[in-house]
Amino acid sequence: MSVLAFAEQRAGAVRDAALETLTVGRQLADALGVELVAVLVGPPGLAVEAGKLGSYGADRVLTGLADAFAEYSPEGYTELVAKAAREKAAKAVVFAASAQGKDLAPRVAARLKAGLASDVTQVGIEDGRVVAVRPAYAGKVFLRLAFKSAPAMLSVRPRAYKAAEAPRDAQVEELTVDAGAAARTKVQTAAEEKRERPDVAEAEIIVAGGRGLGGPESWKLLEGLADALGPGAGLGASRAVVDAGWRPHSEQVGQTGKVVAPPLYFAIGVSGAIQHLAGMQTAGCIVAVNKDAEAPIFKIADYGVVGDLFEIVPRLTEEIRKARSQP
Amino acid sequence: MKIIVCIKRVPDSESRIAKAKDGASVDTQGLKFVLNPYDEYAVEGALRLKEAAGDGSVTVMTLGGEESKETLRTALAMGADQAVLLKGQPSVDGLGTAQKLAGALEGREYDLLLFGKQAIDDDNLQVPAMVAELLGVPCATVVVELQVEGKVVTATREIEGGHEIVEFELPGVVAAQKGLNEPRYPSLKGIMQAKKKPLEEVDVGDAESHLEVIEVMNPPGRSAGVIVGEGADAVPELVRRLREEAKVI
Ligand SMILES: Cc1cc2nc3c(=O)[nH]c(=O)nc-3n(C[C@H](O)[C@H](O)[C@H](O)COP(=O)(O)OP(=O)(O)OC[C@H]3O[C@@H](n4cnc5c(N)ncnc54)[C@H](O)[C@@H]3O)c2cc1C
Ligand SMILES: Nc1ncnc2c1ncn2[C@@H]1O[C@H](COP(=O)(O)O)[C@@H](O)[C@H]1O
């Protein structure tokens, strides 16, 4: 018996969110007294990452390596993970609630005829059962859920858990499936983007801007602040800003954008409408900058500064840079 | 081209959500219900494909109670040709609902199945990919751009920090993300016509839930913190607190 963790990789590197699934998987495996199996899917030559998966708690690494897996292949990946779950008699299968995990987990769940809890923020074993907590209604409520089917299928919200090292010597084992035969879908990563900052869904710190910035040109201010906060900082936006075309929808936080839970969230010139709050109210620490002392964002912010963001943000950038350069 | 769009009735995004007396469900009394916002993109996408092709049909389908007829009528008023109500309750997780939908779809003709990427009540993000898997057809989720040429679908889907281009042959499933299009409002004429369009009812029974809600909980409490001060002069104190009190920078 086992717990399976899907070790998502992109361009050969195991993603941070995947290490978090190992940490979740390790906890479940320990509580159930079974081994943790990491499933690594990709092109031939990827096995080098097995050592890293071991250091984050995998007892065993199952590799599914094929040319057809150079890019994400929904059918091929489904085939492989479902087979791994069956062969290793998985009690639970853990994915990251990343773009790929959210596409793949439902497919595998349907293949295994097992219920899936999406975007889980907390999971544990109670009386031998897997119990998961996840937000619904855009985070306005949280559901505590038990599984009536097996294995327990979970996708875990990025950043809900901190990846923790738990080193062991992972055994590497190969699993083969007929990847080409199953594939009906051809997936390619679009070439256009160059990623400089983490995506808002994965950022450790989010600097989010609202209509208070007045226009897209003001975002250089927020970029400066994000730069000062370090490479883990990403940019977010309110819907008003996205609707105005100032920022791409991929940065939108809220009910119809992304639901995020970073340790630190800056809301700059954001009023704090209920649909925005729904997307970020589980952040660790919320800082609000707004010229209106009555803005609803202050009702949930841990720290607020009232005033003109065009004066406050440059100063904040400077002070944070100073603070971070000191030990 | 025959298109079927799966849609759901959900509480309006402005709704305040509270738990019901049983502690394990949500109190839906007095809430305003709407067509799931992501399903609006799916319906609009279907209408545009039909309009571009110059022929074909758009059918909207939902699994829900009697009250979901209103939601179907909204989609008919936007321009869909016919509607199907699968009478029964959706499941807690996506699988039961997907099984009911797939079961109903199996006996029907379709080229393209359109969904919203997510229902804003359960936020499962599961049903489209599950239906695709159960029917054994290809699928693209979180789609912001869609092209259909002959039998070939090219869909652009959002991933972290970029996009993926997904290509497959019909029949298949596409789940719409915001940005795919700008959904139209039903016109007065559309609303009048919707009343006369065919609405088929099939009793399918309640979907089986593979998960069980033990408890509905309020989000971790969040109360107002401190206003550190006013203007740029408050910044050093803010940074000190972020460093020493909150320990986040
Ligand atoms: C179905 C639906 C879904 C929605 N989904 C989302 C969603 O996912 N995400 C989302 O964010 N919204 C969403 N909304 C929209 C939401 O209701 C608000 O309209 C939106 O969040 C407001 O954006 P904002 O805070 O940037 O703008 P505003 O509400 O206009 O706020 C701007 C703020 O900036 C402040 N300000 C102005 N100038 C300055 C200055 N110089 N210095 C400091 N402060 C300044 C103002 O005091 C004000 O508080 C949704 C709405 C609907 C109906
Ligand atoms: N009860 C239902 N009836 C019809 N379609 C549904 C139903 N529930 C979900 N869907 C479709 O599946 C999408 C994703 O839903 P979910 O997986 O619940 O987030 C929705 O946007 C709808 O298109």
Q: A10 and A131: one domain?
A: yes
Q: Which residues contact A173 (CB under 8 A, 6 or more apart)?
A: A60, A61, A62, A63
Q: A246 and A139: one domain?
A: no
pLDDT digit string (tens) for A14-72?
A: 898 999 999 999 999 999 999 999 999 998 877 667 788 999 999 999 999 988 898 89
Give B230's contacts in chain A (Cβ within 8 Å).
Answer: 305-307
**With 80 as the cut, is the pLDDT of residue A126 above it?**
yes
- Give the CATH number, domain containing residue A258: 3.40.50.1220
Q: Does the distance separating the beta carbons of A99 and B158 come in below 8 Å?
A: yes
Mean pLDDT in residue range B183-191? 96
Nearest CA in chain B to A183: B138
Q: pLDDT above 70 covers what percent of chain A?
A: 98
Nearest CA in chain A to B164: A189
Residue B4, min C-alpha distance to chain A (Å) = 20
Nearest CA residue ID for atom 27, ligand 1: A211
Q: A175 and A216: one domain?
A: no
Ligand 1 atom showing the smallest separation from residue B13 Cα: 1
- Give the CATH number, domain containing residue A141: 3.40.50.620
pLDDT digit string (tens) for B101-135?
A: 999 999 899 999 999 999 999 999 999 999 999 99
Instruction: Give the structural domain span for A308.
Output: 205-325
The tokens describing A20, both together, are 């978090």
Q: How many domains does chain A have?
A: 2
Map chain A to HEC letters. Answer: CEEEEECCEECCEECHHHHHHHHHHHHHHHHHCCEEEEEEEECCCHHHHHHHHHHCCCCEEEEEECHHHCCCCHHHHHHHHHHHHHHCCEEEEEEECCHHHHHHHHHHHHHHCCCEEEEECEEEEECCEEEEEEEEHHHCEEEEEEECCCCEEEEECCCCCCCCCCCCCCEEEECCCCHHHHCCCEEEECCCCCCCCCCCCCCCEEEEECHHHCCHHHHHHHHHHHHHHCCCEEEEECHHHHHCCCCCHHHEECCCCECCCCCEEEEECCCCCHHHHHHHCCCCEEEEEECCCCCHHHHCCCEEEECCHHHHHHHHHHHHHHHHHCC
Q: Does the distance separating the beta carbons of A311 and B227 come in below 8 Å?
A: no
| C-beta of A267 in contact with ligand 1 (< 6 A) | no
Residue to mutate (ligand 1; options A255, A258, A299; most atoms within 8 A of CB): A255
Q: A254 and A120: one domain?
A: no
A160 found inside a domain: yes
Per-chain mean pLDDT for chain B: 96
Specify the pLDDT at position A51: 85
Cβ A271 vs Cβ A169: under 8 Å = no
Q: A140 and A216: one domain?
A: no
Q: Does A138 lie at the interface with B, CB-CB under 8 angstroms?
A: yes
| CATH class, range B2-203 | alpha beta
A178 found inside a domain: yes
A192 found inside a domain: no
Q: A172 and A53: one domain?
A: yes
Nearest CA residue ID for atom 14, ligand 2: B118
A36 found inside a domain: yes
State the complex-level ipTM: 0.91
Ligand 2 atom showing the smallest separation from residue B116 Cα: 21
Mean pLDDT in residue range A176-184? 79
A40 found inside a domain: yes
Q: A165 and A234: one domain?
A: no
Give B90's contacts in chain A (Cβ within 8 Å).
Answer: none
Cβ B38 vs Cβ B117: under 8 Å = yes
**With 80 as the cut, is the pLDDT of residue B146 above it?**
yes
Question: Cα-Cα-Cα-Cα dihedral of A227, A228, A230, A232, to 10°?
Answer: -60
Give A324's contacts in chain B (Cβ within 8 Å).
Answer: 249
Confidence label for A196 from pLDDT (cuts 50, 70 and 90): confident
Specify the pLDDT at position A8: 95
Residue to mutate (ligand 2; options B6, B91, B105; most atoms within 8 A of CB): B6
Residue to mutate (ligand 1; options A211, A258, A266, A299; most atoms within 8 A of CB): A211
pLDDT digit string (tens) for A222-272?
A: 999 999 999 999 999 999 999 999 999 889 999 888 888 899 999 999 999
Q: Provide the b/e sequence for A184-202 (b: ≥16 CB within 10 Å).
A: bbebeeeeeeeeebbbbbb
Nearest CA residue ID for atom 12, ligand 1: A239
Tell me the C-alpha distance between A21 and A104, whole Å.
14
Q: A85 and A223: one domain?
A: no
A199 found inside a domain: no
Tell me the C-alpha distance between B123 and B113, whole Å.
20
A121, A150, A182: which is the final residue of a domain?
A: A182
Tell me the C-alpha distance between A248 and A240, whole Å.
11
